[in-house]
Structures are given as C-alpha cells and as structure tokens.
Amino acid sequence: MGADVLIVDDSELMRGMLREIVSDRFTVVDEAENGKEAVEKVLAASPTVVLMDMVMPEVDGVEATGVIKRRKPEIQIVFCTSVDQQSRMRDAIDAGADGYVLKPFEEEMIVEAIEDVI
C-alpha cells in the first residue's frame, strides 16, 4: 500500500537518511526541520504519514503532533526518537502519536512502522 510521507527532523543528515530509506517504498512529499514547519506543511500537503523527531527547535515533536492531530486526526504520526527520549514517548502517545521507532534503527524498522499505521 502506498503512502505520502513528510519527514520531520532538525538534522539535515537524518532527513536525508530517512528520505533514502522511505523513498524506495513510499512517496516523500516534503521535509521539515522543526515542528512549526511540520504543522504548516501538513496543513498544506496532507501527507498520509509524518515521520516526526521528538526534540527540535521552535516547536518540538510532541507539541506539533498535538496540533496536527487536532486539525487533521486522520494523519498518522510515527516518532523516530533516540533511546534517551523514550521516557517522553508517553507524552507523544498522549498527543496522538500512532507509532514510534527508536534510534539507532535498522532500515526495515522504519518501513514496518509506516506499514503498521497505514
């Protein structure tokens, strides 16, 4: 099944790596480097899935997820976050996250996480 994916991470290197992994199976519609940009791009493009980082400048992933889910609850949000942020996953789930993958991850884990929510 296809999915349009928005990649959100403040690291350009991580966005590039995720794009490379995801673009083999899904359509990457855009990228954002913080939660504020993510909300704007979701409202403009309505991707199927957002791959969301937790810790970012301006607006973090948890806050952005809450805004996105209030405005467009049908959009699936999968967090890609580091093990040291695992304690904040409860906040992300409360905000509406549909899944998560812990960094460092293997490529197939990202694909499976997206397939699990679409």
> Among residues 8, 4, 99, 112, which one has the least CA distance to residue 58?
8
CB atoms within 10 A of CB 14: 16
Please give the average pLDDT of every successive group of 10 residues along the chain, which has 118 residues. Answer: 92 96 96 97 95 94 97 96 78 94 90 95
Tell me, what's the pLDDT at 9? 96
DSSP letters for 6-21: EEE-S-HHHHHHHHHH
Task: State pTM to two decimals.
Answer: 0.94
User: Please, what are the domains in the chain?
Assistant: 4-117 (3.40.50.2300)
Tell me, what's the pLDDT at 99? 95
